[in-house]
Chains A and B, each alone.
Chain A
């Protein structure tokens, strides 16, 4: 029991170690305090920022944009992935195009999307959705294509029609891979949103917050905003993982 308890505490070790090292460096002033404020100062900035400060508002803005982009990407990417995956010739004929745009940095699309959508929220959300769609679509299509042949055959031999096989077997078979796509998709969407908030005429959002703090040389606030962004990324990933564990209980078994 004791051994298991200490096992569970292992992940905390890294956090404690990092904060200790950071405190030491800040306390001994090995790095100029202007560049690296102490953990306490940073935490204070994070606390005040999130508790009624602008950081909390920026955080909510970024959550909204990321969620919108991911929702749009899922709504388009999942059905499209299923169609492409179930018609393998169709996927093969589009594979190069998908791979090409999947490999294109979505940030390279900013100018194009600015022309198309203007400087509002739409542009940020659209670029992030564009990047996430391809990731989600690719994973869903592969999930459908890699459905276990025996399982498909089993359904067929029991007399299932093509449509039945698609809905009763392929769709469920592809769910674990779909969640891989969603997790990657939401991470990518967050990256794109934060970059967009920094550089394309944004008045709010975590990206804007980091950038502005840097411009004002408010280092504690800058670190706080970075941590907020990190926590958001980690939290979104965790959220999808929990949803997956709840609804795709057979994943990996």
Chain B
């Protein structure tokens, strides 16, 4: 199953991320055991699976937030320290810096790269203009709505022009109306930048709606239960939610998910 999925992914494009022999345990619980996966370039991958299967752990290991016990993760053959990446936390309230205005929050990663002030300013403005984001960036994060704050987090992750973007349940703290809006924003951003994106979601509809492929994980130790392509055309809209291809793909994913939940 795994190698078939990995091979299918690899056949279309050269993989961006290659994961080999990844192992991780928390105390006595084996979360990953010799896990292999290829992540295709320039696609939006949703990670979905049963509770506690290690969805977030996977992207956290890829993004270097959690060290794996064993295994290798390479980006085009390079190590994490040699590439630029962005990471968006679920908890935007605690991830942004409340003492900086939204604009300076977004520009902060450039400061860490020692980009001079004027260029920081120009690049941040260019990014916001390029993505057509309408936000008052002179505000402090605590003066913004949750969705706006998360949008600032996403922009902050994008400002360094990352090769890969990680999002850990980015919309799960938002209400439904805001979630719908943010899906559109993320889709637009993805269409504009084409950055390889890994998004952890606990909402199947969201996972399928946003993804080029849904990575379905099994209960731990996690295996790839399926690496399902989502054929629905882009840009996806509210109408997509009732589109037959979309519904079919979602039903397939749900079936696999339930099979994995019931196993053991």
Contacts and interface: CB of A to CB of B under 8 A. Distances in A.
Nearest to A157: B87
Interface stretch (B18-26, B32-40, B108-116, B198-206): B108-116
Interface stretch (A78-86, A120-128, A148-156): A148-156
B122 to A, nearest CB: 19
Contacts of A4: none
A interface, size bucket: 10 to 19
B interface, size bucket: 20 to 34
Contact of A150 (B94, B112, B140, B156): B94
Contacts of A169: 97
B18 to A, nearest CB: 21
A172 B99 contact: yes
Contact of B95 (A154, A172, A248, A253): A154
Contacts of B140: 249-250
Q: Point out which of B95, B99, B109, B156 has the most chain A C-beta atoms below 10 A from its C-beta.
A: B99
Given A148-B94, A150-B91, A159 B142 contact: no
A159 B113 contact: yes
A164 B112 contact: yes
Interface in B128-173: 140, 142, 156, 160
Q: Is the interface of B mostly helix, strand, loop or mixed?
A: loop
Q: Is the interface of A mostly helix, strand, loop or mixed?
A: helix
Interface in B96-119: 96-99, 108-109, 112-113
B65 A153 contact: yes
Contact of A172 (B63, B94, B96, B97): B97
A158 B108 contact: yes
A154 B99 contact: no
Given A157-B64, A157-B87, A159-B112, A250 B94 contact: no
Interface of B: 63-65, 87, 89, 91, 94-99, 108-109, 112-113, 140, 142, 156, 160
Interface of A: 148-151, 153-154, 157-160, 164, 168-169, 172, 175, 248-250, 253
16 contacts: A149-B94, A150-B91, A150-B94, A151-B95, A151-B97, A153-B89, A154-B89, A154-B95, A157-B63, A157-B87, A158-B160, A159-B109, A160-B112, A168-B108, A250-B98, A250-B99
